[in-house]
Structure 1
Amino acid sequence: MAVDIQKLFNEELPAALVKHSDAAKQIGGKYQINVTGEGGGEWLIDLSDSGPKLSSGNPGNADVTISLSSEDFQKLHENPQANSMQLFFAGKLKVTGNQMLAMKLPKLFQLNAG
């Protein structure tokens, strides 16, 4: 089933960050997520000590930037652990900045599932 990317970043993940704020801060860092194509957008997810919060846009102060198409985001969301590495090595998931933080991205999506 396809995920509604706008709903995920504008409603579901912000609610999950509030609900699981301590777990979110343990992930740490500031993530810029840029999803291109249909239903995409740009969001900053702040899991630092000043967070957790999620805001629309690209203010340019992220520790790591993750860019991918909305089609590939669907695959990532279906199975973050398996598909993140597959998409990364296929050149479909672009990561700039702190690579170690990018490895923690599946934990973020687990907060929403929990």
Structure 2
Amino acid sequence: MTVAETFETMKSVFNPAAASGLNKIFQWDISGEEAGKWAVKIADQTCEVIPGGVDNPNITLIMSDKNWLAIAKGELDAMNAYMTGKVKVTGDMMLAMRIPQLFPVKR
């Protein structure tokens, strides 16, 4: 699975019930061989993926392509990755805590 494919599948794993009352933009800045930016806009319990990112997201998660793929596959725990410096977060940190409910990973 490629980085782009993981973002294409986010709509299919999105949990609208967890997004009640949420109107925010999450962005991933991915470095490495598959570098790029992807934003996910959540509004009215819907999810829209925006390739290329946006100018002013509410939260930005910064990581390598290898770490993102491992997180997306459920092989790397996102909280552990953050605590060990593999993932950096800028913006509203509390939004990061909602990602596992918004996009449940099958383990």
**Above 0.5 in TM-score?**
yes
Q: Distance in 2 between matches of 1:75 and 1:27?
A: 30
Task: Name the count of aligned residue pairs.
Answer: 105
Contact 1:77 1:109 in 2 (8 A): no
Identify the structure with the greater helix proportion.
1
CA drift at 1:58: 2.4
Given residue 34 of structure 2, which amino acid in structure 1 is its aligned partner?
G
Pair 16,84 (structure 1): closer, same or farther in 2 beyond 3 Å: closer
Q: Please state whether the residue corresponding to 1:53 is helix, strand or coil.
A: strand
Query: Could you tell me the percent identity over the aligned residues?
Result: 27
TM-score by length of 1: 0.74
- Return structure 1 stretches of 4+ with deviation > 4 angstroms: none
The unaligned stretches of length 5 or more in structure 2 are none
CA drift at 1:78: 3.0
The unaligned stretches of length 5 or more in structure 1 are none
- Bigger shift: residues 44-53 or 96-105: 44-53
Residue of structure 1 equivalent to 2:5:
7
TM-score by length of 2: 0.78
CA drift at 1:77: 1.8
CA drift at 1:50: 8.4
